[in-house]
């Protein structure tokens, strides 16, 4: 579970509605994850993070459309534009060209 300590006691029982908080960029992975969370939980809450990406406008539109589809009323958008200052990514740096996808490649771009 990502840590060295295992949970030794069972969590307390909770009989209220089960809420899933989903980090949603607006892409295909987010849509599939939201669909799974929707099937497994009573209620969804969505979080969207803007980090200075070139595609933010389109991602935000998709985020809203996915949230509308699943009737999510709890939505939070957070701006972390400072991450763009780290650089090194064509997602946030206009000086770095976006590469043409190689759909036959088995590597991660």
Residue boundaries of the structural domains of the chain = 19-86
CATH number of 19-86: 3.40.50.620
pLDDT at 27 over 80: yes
For residue 99, the cross-strand partners are none
Spatial CA neighbour of 39 closest among 61, 20, 15: 20
- Per DSSP bridges, beta strands 74-79 and 19-23 are unpaired
Instruction: Give the pLDDT of residue 76.
Output: 96
Instruction: Give the pLDDT of residue 69.
Output: 97
Q: Record the pTM.
A: 0.72
End-to-end CA distance of the chain: 27
CB atoms within 10 A of CB 107: 5
């Amino acid at each position: 579970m990502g840590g060295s300590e295992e949970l030794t006691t069972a969590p307390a029982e909770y009989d209220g509605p089960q809420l899933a908080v989903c980090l949603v960029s607006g892409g295909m992975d987010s849509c599939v994850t939201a669909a799974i969370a929707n099937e497994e939980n009573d209620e969804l809450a969505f979080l969207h993070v803007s980090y200075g990406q070139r595609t933010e406008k389109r991602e935000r539109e998709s985020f809203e459309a996915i949230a509308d589809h699943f009737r999510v009323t709890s939505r939070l958008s957070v701006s972390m534009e400072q991450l763009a200052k780290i650089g090194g990514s064509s997602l946030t740096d206009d000086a770095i060209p976006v590469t043409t996808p190689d759909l036959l490649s088995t590597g991660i771009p």
